Structure formats: structure tokens, C-alpha cells
């Protein structure tokens, strides 16, 4: 009897904690968009010259990296909230988002490598930031198309 009550308590705890952490589809969509926007904000600041010093570039690139990782996590969470009836319909959108996130990671890594140099090339830094912004913009467009297809 004691084993049964302990098992029941453990199962109830797991059920409770998973329901408090789980996000709805709408919350997942909002989180992904917010993270994409943060990456784009930091990348744009570098690419347009708003960010002026190497230290500012590094700070912005670090923040963009955090937001990109959060976007990847938000996308994984979103995939879990999509109803079964829509999963096949939006598979290509998920794949495209993942591709754009991978491209963004490549551009972010190139940006960071350039910033590690003692005498970095400002033009290259801005170009990598611009490509990062473009990749995330494409990911967000795919996300909006996915969102539209799963409204019902």
C-alpha cells in the first residue's frame, strides 16, 4: 500500500509540474516571435552602425546569441504544441525555420570570429550582422506562415 501511495504521489507531482511549465500554442508562437525580434534588433544595431564600438558589437552579438538559442528552444516547444492534424501540413515550415536558424548560427559564429581579431574588419562585422538579420527574418516569415496554417 505504501508503494502505491508513493507512486501515486510521484505521478501527481509530475503531472502538476508538467502542466505548470507547458505552454499553449499561442504562448509558444509569441515566444518565438519575441526571440526572433530580439535577434533582429541586435543584428540591425550592428549592421546599421548604431552599435559603434567593438565592445558594443560584442555585447550585441552576445545578446543575439542568447536570443537565438532561446528561439531554437521556443521552436522546439512550439513543435510540441502543434495538433496532430496539422503536423504534416506544417512540416516543411518547421524544416525551413530550422534551416534559417542554422544559417543564422553560421553568420553569428562568423561575426564572433571577426570580433575576436585584434584589428577586425568593420565592413565584415556589419555584413555578418546583416546576414544574421536576414536569416532570422526568413525564419520569422516561415513561422508566420506556419502560424497561419495552424489557426484552426
Per-residue pLDDT of the chain in tens (152 residues, 90 and over written 9): 555 555 455 555 544 443 334 579 899 999 999 999 999 999 999 999 999 999 999 999 999 999 999 999 999 999 999 999 899 999 999 999 999 999 999 999 999 999 999 999 999 999 999 999 999 999 999 999 999 998 86
CB 146 within 8 A of CB 92: no
- Residue 4: the pLDDT is 52
Alpha carbon 145 to its chain's center: 16
> How far, in Å, CA of 19 to CA of 31, rounded?
18
Question: Mapping DSSP to helix (H, G, I), strand (E, B) and coil, where does residue 49 land?
Answer: coil
Q: What global pTM score does this model have?
A: 0.84
| Closest by Cα among 111, 99, 94, 98 to 42 | 111
pLDDT at 21: 46
Amino acid at each position: 500500500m505504501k508503494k502505491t501511495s508513493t507512486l501515486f504521489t510521484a505521478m501527481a507531482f509530475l503531472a502538476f509540474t508538467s502542466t505548470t511549465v507547458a505552454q499553449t500554442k499561442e504562448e509558444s508562437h509569441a515566444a518565438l516571435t519575441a526571440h526572433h525580434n530580439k535577434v533582429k534588433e541586435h543584428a540591425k544595431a550592428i549592421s546599421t552602425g548604431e552599435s559603434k564600438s567593438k565592445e558594443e558589437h560584442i555585447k550585441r552579438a552576445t545578446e543575439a546569441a542568447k536570443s537565438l538559442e532561446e528561439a531554437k528552444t521556443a521552436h522546439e516547444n512550439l513543435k510540441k504544441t502543434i495538433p496532430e492534424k496539422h503536423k504534416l501540413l506544417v512540416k516543411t515550415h518547421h524544416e525551413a525555420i530550422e534551416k534559417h536558424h542554422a544559417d543564422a548560427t553560421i553568420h553569428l559564429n562568423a561575426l564572433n570570429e571577426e570580433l575576436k581579431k585584434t584589428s577586425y574588419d568593420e565592413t565584415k562585422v556589419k555584413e555578418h550582422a546583416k546576414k544574421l538579420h536576414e536569416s532570422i527574418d526568413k525564419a520569422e516569415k516561415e513561422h508566420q506562415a506556419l502560424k497561419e496554417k495552424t489557426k484552426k
